Chain A
Amino acid sequence: MTTDTPAPAASASEERYVAVQQSEDFSRLRKTLRGFIFPMTVAFFLWYALYVILSAYARGFMDTKVVGHINVALVFGLLQFVSTFLIAWLYSRFASRQVDPLADKIAHELSEKGDAE
């Protein structure tokens, strides 16, 4: 393993990244983003798992007819489409309103500092 490319010694640019990472703006960006994507991931995963588990174990419930030949299983399946589209839309709205302006601001400051050097 001695032939591995060693990580280069910390350069000025890397120190700049550390400074940004520890800045207040960046922790706000990280917190905002993670505050949305982590809970949402858990939510849609559990929602999907519930659907699969009901399909496997709660057949009586899934087989209940809602209207005509349309049963709970079909409605539940279609709701997975609806929730997927909805979460995608919510995320896109959230990201462009809450995340993008903050990310742009930090990236902009970082490139200005870079130019100054």
Chain B
Amino acid sequence: MNPSVLAAEAGDTTARTLTITLFLIFVAITLAITVWASRQTKTATDFYAGGRSFSGFQNGMAIGGDYMSAASFLGIAGLIALYGYDGFLYSIGFLVAWLVALLLVAELLRNSGKYTMADVLAFRMRQRPVRTAAAVSTITVSIFYLIAQMVGAGALVALLLGIRPGTTFLGMDADAAKVATIILVGALMIIYVTVGGMKGTTYVQIVKAFLLMSGAALMTVLVLAKFNFNLSSLLGAASDASGKGEAFLQPGLYYGKDVAGDATQTFYNKVDLFSLGIALVLGTAGLPHILIRFYTVPTARAARKSVLWAIGIIGTFYLFTLALGFGAAALVGGDAIREQNAAGNTAAPQLAEALGVDFLGGDTGGAVLLAVIAAVAFATILAVVAGLTLASSSSLAHDFYANVIKKGETSEKQEVNVARIAAFAIGAVSIVLALFAQSLNVAFLVALAFAVAASGNLPAILYSLFWKRFNTSGATWAIYGGLVAAVVLVFFSPVVSGTETSMFKNSDWQWFPLSNPGIISIPFGFLCGWIGTLLSKESDEQKYAELEVRSLTGAGAH
């Protein structure tokens, strides 16, 4: 073995030990918070909504922690590092989306709901059909998102801990480490939610948001310092190193690709880009795990403040990822990134290592910064999966158990117990599904979750809040129509079968040409809600008067 390999392995061990130590510190701190939070959690409001006692800033941080997933941090940085401008284009939809939440949803939902999305949808409707539909949609969206995050965590662990093919760690090879990680992530999220409820989960998300923003800010400053704070020279160095020249700084390397000589495919690619864009922008305000965060503050005004903070935090974060992505392209290089992970997910950690070597004194510095960023990435995944588990278990307990099965006749204590059991069950199911899906390409599940939220949940929410005539039939039509349209179209799309990068690459039942169903399924969801409404005579003007007055003025808010 030559000395440089030995040195690299020594660096690996340092980084690995440090990553694990830092990660264990994070886990220890968050578990301590969880236990503390469990002592403060006595009522259903405490469990579902953290006692509605968080400030606008705290909730803004928690929203950031809930929203900025590993897909944002590692995924977008990697996309920019490998494909340049298009990664940035992708991040913008995630930010603009918050205006829908701010202007149309957050405050009205906070004023008129209690614990779940369905509280608003079912406000003036027949409880059982609407709450059942909302629970189905909430659990579907959350499980899609959960599986994507957990499979992502499994795929990352070997990379972040530097377990290469043929080497082992604690007696585990890369595959065993993957399985262990998925189970560990699942177990921790179950503990956070069942023990700490919304309070515990919120603090985990706040701590994570703080760590993620600090880590990303530090790396951004180092990258910019490397280029004398001149954005143009960073971009120039990135495009030079990418081997793609100026095209690296222009749209079109990843999304909406021009296929020479194939006008049809070019057309589909461009429509697909637009379809993805609208699903991102309209999906955020229909994601159940985001919506329930608005209940954790005392008033609609605090909900507004939390979205304002969230926009500031999330926007700043995506600006950081711009520097990180181009920084990784310039300083690490596309080839070195692809060698570690073809999708570019290790671009940010690899950049951290390169920056550490430069600024913090050689290989040890590199190992230290790599370890810090890797630990931050794990913290990121944990906070997001906890939020998702909480949202789906809340809906299962509050919507389905308490209001559908028990028809509203259950005690708070029983309901919270059911929520805890539901969190355990959903966590267990997600672990099993993630283990089965771990060798499949499931990255599309995040986009699918956004598409379902935009096609089913958002039409139902907007009609509920703003359309007097809307009724039970309309709500169930919108939710099921949008949900089924999005899922069916994706099932027959190239992301599931028929191409080299499909989930099932050896089968082919694909006929829908777009990877993103939004452009069809979102109008379809709105249309279903409209037709469903007109097909039923039901209309409760008095209840709508109550909903409208309460949602706009905050009178009678929980």
Contacts and interface: CB of A to CB of B under 8 A. Distances in A.
Interface of A: 1, 3-5, 7, 10, 13-15, 17-18, 20-22, 26, 29-30, 33, 36-37, 40-41, 44-45, 48-49, 51-53, 55-57, 59, 62-63, 67-71, 73-74, 77, 80-81, 84-85, 87-89, 91-92, 95-96, 100, 103-104, 106-107, 110-111
The 5 closest A-B pairs by CB, nearest first: A68-B232, A69-B235, A21-B545, A55-B251, A56-B270
A10 B312 contact: no
Give the residue among B98, B307, B407, B545 with the most A Cβ atoms within 10 A: B545
A59 B235 contact: no
B231 interface: yes
B341 to A, nearest CB: 25
Nearest to B462: A41
A112 B274 CA distance: 51
B99 A84 contact: yes
Contacts of B126: 1, 4-5, 7
Q: Tell me what chain A mostly uses at the interface: helix, strand, loop, or mixed.
A: helix
Q: Tell me what chain B mostly uses at the interface: helix, strand, loop, or mixed.
A: helix
A110 B549 CA distance: 10
A59 B98 CA distance: 27
Interface stretch (B100-108, B436-444, B485-493): B100-108
Given A81-B95, A96-B301, 8 more contacts: A1-B129, A17-B545, A20-B553, A41-B104, A56-B270, A69-B235, A73-B250, A85-B311
Nearest to B309: A88
Contacts of A4: 126-129
28 contacts: A1-B126, A1-B129, A3-B407, A4-B129, A14-B545, A17-B545, A18-B542, A26-B553, A36-B103, A37-B103, A44-B99, A52-B89, A56-B270, A56-B274, A59-B250, A59-B252, A63-B250, A68-B235, A69-B239, A70-B231, A73-B250, A73-B251, A74-B235, A77-B92, A80-B95, A88-B98, A95-B304, A110-B549
B542 A68 contact: no
A48 B277 contact: yes
A103 B552 contact: yes
A45 B546 CA distance: 30
B146 to A, nearest CB: 28
B249 interface: yes
B187 to A, nearest CB: 38
Contacts of B278: 49
B80 to A, nearest CB: 11
Contacts of B520: none
A13 B389 CA distance: 37
Interface string B108-142: 00000000000000001011110000000000000
Interface in B509-558: 540-543, 545-546, 548-550, 552-556
Given A55-B89, A107-B554, A14 B549 contact: no
B103 A107 contact: no
Contacts of A7: 124, 126, 540, 543
Contacts of A41: 99-100, 103-104
A72 to B, nearest CB: 9
Nearest to A7: B540
B362 interface: no
Contacts of B258: 59
A49 B277 contact: yes
Interface of B: 85, 88-89, 92-93, 95-96, 98-100, 102-104, 124, 126-129, 231-233, 235-236, 239, 246, 249-252, 255-256, 258, 270, 273-274, 277-278, 281, 301, 304, 307-308, 311-312, 315, 318-319, 407-408, 540-543, 545-546, 548-550, 552-556
A74 B546 contact: no
Contacts, number: 174
Contacts of B98: 84, 88
Contacts of B251: 55-56, 59, 62, 73
B224 to A, nearest CB: 14
Give the residue among A36, A56, A73 with the most B Cβ atoms within 10 A: A56
A46 B288 CA distance: 26
A55 B273 contact: yes
B542 A10 contact: yes
Contact of A106 (B540, B543, B553): B553
Give the residue among B258, B408, B555 with the most A Cβ atoms within 10 A: B555
Nearest to B314: A84
A61 B23 CA distance: 46
A7 B471 CA distance: 12
Contacts of A1: 126, 128-129
A30 B100 CA distance: 18
B553 A29 contact: yes
B549 A26 contact: yes
Contacts of B235: 68-70, 74
B99 A30 contact: no
B274 A88 contact: no
A56 B273 contact: yes
Given A30-B548, A37-B104, A68-B236, A44 B96 contact: yes
A18 B545 contact: yes
Contacts of B231: 70
Contacts of B129: 1, 4
B96 A91 contact: no
Contacts of A67: 232
B542 A85 contact: no
Contacts of B543: 7, 14
A29 B553 CA distance: 9
Nearest to B278: A49
B549 A87 contact: no
Contacts of B89: 52, 55, 77
Given A4-B128, A56-B270, A57-B270, A84 B315 contact: yes
A48 to B, nearest CB: 5
Give the residue among B85, B124, B541, B553 with the most A Cβ atoms within 10 A: B553
A72 B330 CA distance: 21
Contacts of A71: 246, 249-250
A20 B554 CA distance: 13
